[in-house]
C-alpha cells in the first residue's frame, strides 16, 4: 500500500482532526485527506462551576471549552488525561496536578494522591467506563457533571463517494464509540478500510473484511495512533 495513493479518512470533530493531521504529516503525505466527523461536539448550557476548592477531572479538551471564560478557573487544581487536555487546562489558568495517558492511569494517580476534598469530573454525555464510580469505591468524594454532548453525524458526501470506490482508505479512530458509528455507516463499502484503533475496546466494534487490516495503537494517544498507522503500511503490501 502506497501512502501517496491512499486516502486518509479522519472521523474526529474537525478541530481535533486538523490537529492530528498536523502531527501525521511529518510521516508523509496521503493521496487524499477527507475530514468527515462521525460526531459533533455540542456544548451544553453554560454550567455552574463547582464551589472553590473543588478539584476538576478533565478527560477531554471539550470539557475545557465548556467552562472557558468562567470566573474561578485560575489556580483551581485539575487532573487531566492527555497532553492536549493538560495544555488547554494550563492555558485556561488551571493548576494541573497530574497528566496521564488514559483514564485508568489517571484514576491510579488520583487514588494514590487521595485528595481530601471533592472531585468533579467534567465530562460528556457519552463515555466509556465510570471513573467517578471507581473513585467513590476507593473512598473519594467524586461526582460527574456533563458539560457537552457528542452528537452522531452522517458521513459527508465526499466520504460516501470514497467508500464506494475500490481504493485503500486508512482511518485512525480515537474511541470505541467513533469506530462503532463508523462501522454502521460503511456496511456497504467497496473500499478497503484499514483501521488504526486507539484500543482493543475500540477494535471490537470493527468487522474486518478480506484485504483489510487493523492495527491497535501501542499507547492510547495520538502518538500511539501514528505508530499504528505506520504499521498498517507495513502490513499491507504495495501493489
Residue 154 and residue 218: Cα distance in Å, rounded?
29
- Of 136, 137, 100, which Cα lies nearest the Cα of 118? 136
Q: Which helix (H) or strand (E) holds 75?
A: none
Contacts by 223-231, CB closer than 8 A, 24 or more apart: 224/198, 225/20, 225/172, 225/174, 225/196, 225/198, 226/23, 226/24, 226/27, 228/172, 228/196, 228/197, 229/24, 229/27, 229/170, 229/172, 229/196, 230/27, 231/196
The pLDDT, as a whole number, for residue 213 is 96
Average pLDDT taken over every residue of the chain:
92
Lowest mean pLDDT among 39-53, 135-149, 196-210, 211-225: 39-53
pLDDT at 130: 87
Give the residue, 102 or 153, on which the prediction is more confident.
153
What is residue 239's predicted lDDT score, i.e. its pLDDT?
Answer: 43
pLDDT > 90 fraction of the chain, expressed in percent and rounded: 74
pLDDT tens for 9-24 read 999 999 889 999 999 9
Cβ atoms of residues 217 and 74 within 8 Å: no
In the prediction, which pLDDT does 238 show? 58
Ordered structural domains, the chain, with CATH: 17-38+153-168 (no CATH), 41-150 (3.40.50.10090)
pLDDT digits (tens, 9 = 90+) for 180-217: 999 999 999 999 999 999 999 899 999 999 999 999 99
Higher per-residue confidence, 132 vs 46: 132
Enter the pTM of the model: 0.83
Question: Which residue in this structure is represented by grid cell 466509556?
Answer: 128
Cell of 233: 503500511
> Contact, 177 vs 40, CB < 8 A?
no
Chain-centroid distance of CA 211 in Å reads 27
Q: Where are the alpha helices (DSSP H) in the chain?
A: 14-24, 61-67, 83-91, 103-113, 131-137, 157-163, 176-185, 200-203, 222-235
143 burial type by CB count under 10 A (0-12 exposed, 13-18 middle, 19+ buried): middle
Q: Supply the pLDDT for residue 15.
A: 87
Amino acid at each position: 500500500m502506497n501512502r501517496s495513493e491512499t486516502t486518509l479518512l479522519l472521523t474526529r470533530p474537525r478541530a481535533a482532526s486538523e490537529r492530528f493531521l498536523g502531527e501525521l504529516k511529518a510521516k508523509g503525505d496521503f493521496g487524499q485527506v477527507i475530514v468527515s466527523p462521525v460526531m459533533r461536539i455540542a456544548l451544553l448550557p453554560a454550567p455552574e462551576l463547582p464551589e472553590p476548592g473543588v478539584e476538576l477531572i478533565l478527560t477531554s479538551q471539550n470539557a475545557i471549552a465548556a467552562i472557558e471564560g468562567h470566573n474561578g478557573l485560575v489556580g483551581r487544581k485539575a487532573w487531566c488525561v492527555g497532553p492536549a487536555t493538560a495544555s488547554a487546562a494550563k492555558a485556561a489558568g488551571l493548576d494541573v496536578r497530574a497528566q496521564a495517558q488514559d483514564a485508568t492511569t489517571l484514576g491510579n494517580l488520583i487514588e494514590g494522591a487521595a485528595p481530601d476534598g471533592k472531585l468533579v469530573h467534567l465530562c460528556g454525555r457519552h463515555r466509556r467506563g465510570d471513573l467517578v464510580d471507581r473513585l467513590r469505591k476507593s473512598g473519594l468524594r467524586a461526582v460527574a457533571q456533563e458539560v457537552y454532548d457528542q452528537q452522531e453525524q452522517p458521513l459527508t458526501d465526499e466520504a460516501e463517494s470514497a467508500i464506494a470506490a475500490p481504493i485503500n482508505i486508512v482511518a485512525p479512530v480515537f474511541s470505541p464509540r467513533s469506530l462503532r458509528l463508523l462501522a454502521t455507516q460503511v456496511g456497504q463499502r467497496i473500499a478497503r478500510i484499514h483501521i488504526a484503533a486507539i484500543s482493543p475496546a475500540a477494535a471490537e466494534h470493527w468487522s474486518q473484511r478480506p484485504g483489510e487490516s487493523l492495527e491497535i495503537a501501542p499507547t492510547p494517544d495520538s502518538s500511539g495512533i501514528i505508530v499504528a498507522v505506520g504499521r498498517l503500511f507495513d502490513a499491507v503490501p504495495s501493489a
